[in-house]
């Protein structure tokens, strides 16, 4: 199953303080708008999202159609197809992609311990 780029989306209380903290670990801003409460940071192949006021908990995030630099992949498995494959295996969803659409869409699945996984396609 090809899930695309992987990152951890962190639910932060103060995006400026979190940005400064992760810069000490060598992370640099990759994209986003801190004034709009989101920022994507990268250190080598490692990507974290800082999201203030968007989620209650940290989330594992996969982006079908993107590589680790947020560049569009030539071929990828559409988020709706991933959702169908997971449903066939008995996975339940907190939110689902509309299977009657194309392009950007997302779904959220929650594991047995309450951890959320967001599969968020931007292309």
Position 78 scores a pLDDT of 98
- Decide: 44 and 32 in contact? Cβ < 8 Å: no
Model confidence at 35, pLDDT cuts 50, 70, 90, reads very high
Tokens of 40: 């994507």
Report d(CA 48, CA 6) in Å as an integer: 9
Model confidence at 17, pLDDT cuts 50, 70, 90, reads very high
Report d(CA 117, CA 123) in Å as an integer: 19
Model confidence at 47, pLDDT cuts 50, 70, 90, reads very high
- For residues 43-64, give the mean pLDDT: 96
Position 102 scores a pLDDT of 97
Q: Which long-range contacts (CB under 8 A, 24 or more apart) does 22-25 make?
A: 22/48, 22/50
Identify the domain containing residue 54 by its residue range: 5-121
pTM score over 0.85: yes
Model confidence at 9, pLDDT cuts 50, 70, 90, reads very high
- For residues 91-113, give the mean pLDDT: 96
* CATH code of the domain in which 93 resides: 3.10.180.10
Tally the domains of the chain: 1
Phi-psi region of 103 (alpha: psi -120 to 50; beta: other; left: phi over 0): left
- For residues 48-54, give the mean pLDDT: 97
User: Radius of gyration of the chain from Cα atoms?
Assistant: 15
Tokens of 53: 């006021």
């Amino acid at each position: 199953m090809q899930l695309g780029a992987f990152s951890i989306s962190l639910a932060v209380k103060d995006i400026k303080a979190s940005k400064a903290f992760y810069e000490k670990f060598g992370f640099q801003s990759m994209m986003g708008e801190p004034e709009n409460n989101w920022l994507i940071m990268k250190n080598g192949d490692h990507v974290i999202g800082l999201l203030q006021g968007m989620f209650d908990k940290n989330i594992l995030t996969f982006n079908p159609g993107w590589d680790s630099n947020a560049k569009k992949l030539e071929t990828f498995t559409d988020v709706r197809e991933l959702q169908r494959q997971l449903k066939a295996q008995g996975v339940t969803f907190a939110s689902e992609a509309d299977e009657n659409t194309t392009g950007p869409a997302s779904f959220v699945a929650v594991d047995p311990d309450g951890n959320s996984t967001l599969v968020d396609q931007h292309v």
